[in-house]
Amino acid sequence: MAASRHLFSPSRSNGALPHPSTLYDAPACSSSGWSQAVYVKEGAENFPPKKTLKGSEGLAMTPQLADILGPIQASLPDPLPASEIRCDTVWVPMRDGIRLATDILRASHLRSGPTIAIRTPYGRRGHDGMVARALAQYGYVAVVQDCRGTGDSEPDTWDLYVYELEDSF
């Protein structure tokens, strides 16, 4: 029996944090900007985390992970709000004419900056898109791209790991 899911919104939850088993719905990147929905397993609110990190914006973690990452997170600047992140979707042509779908995420006031590229066969707006969004909130330009034949990239079929090296140049 599949657990039903309900929308979790930190702003509407009186600060209550979800259980670490939180499930994420793939964020959408559109001309109106980046939007994200977080879904929580039903009943997970009965198991609140014992420790969370400052500025985690509703995302919980285990006490062990918080002990390791806490000092690192404390030294980071506060992340930019999601509303200040710009997402541009572009088609990047390969040498043979195939086009790869690519999202470029950055703070709206940045023209350039340190850049991290992520290529994925799992969909650029899934987990890797969330990582890219987080990187952009900390001042990086994040480029996340669907591999050839996956996600929105051309063609319609994926030849497992045949073109990844060639396409990464």
Structure tokens at 129: 């898109």
105-128 pLDDT per residue, tens: 999 998 888 999 999 999 888 888
37-75 pLDDT per residue, tens: 344 455 555 555 444 444 444 455 566 666 777 777 677
Task: Please state, in angstroms and rounded to a whole number, the distance separating the CA atoms of residues 27 and 38.
Answer: 9
* Beta pairing class for 38-41 and 5-8: antiparallel
Task: Please state, in angstroms and rounded to a whole number, the distance separating the CA atoms of residues 102 and 100.
Answer: 6
pTM of the model as a whole: 0.57
Domain layout of the chain by residue ranges: 5-75, 82-167
Q: What is 82-167's CATH topology?
A: Rossmann fold (3.40.50)
Task: Please state, in angstroms and rounded to a whole number, the distance separating the CA atoms of residues 50 and 37.
Answer: 24
Residues with Cβ within 8 Å of 48's Cβ and at least 6 positions away in sequence, in order, are: 16, 17, 19, 60
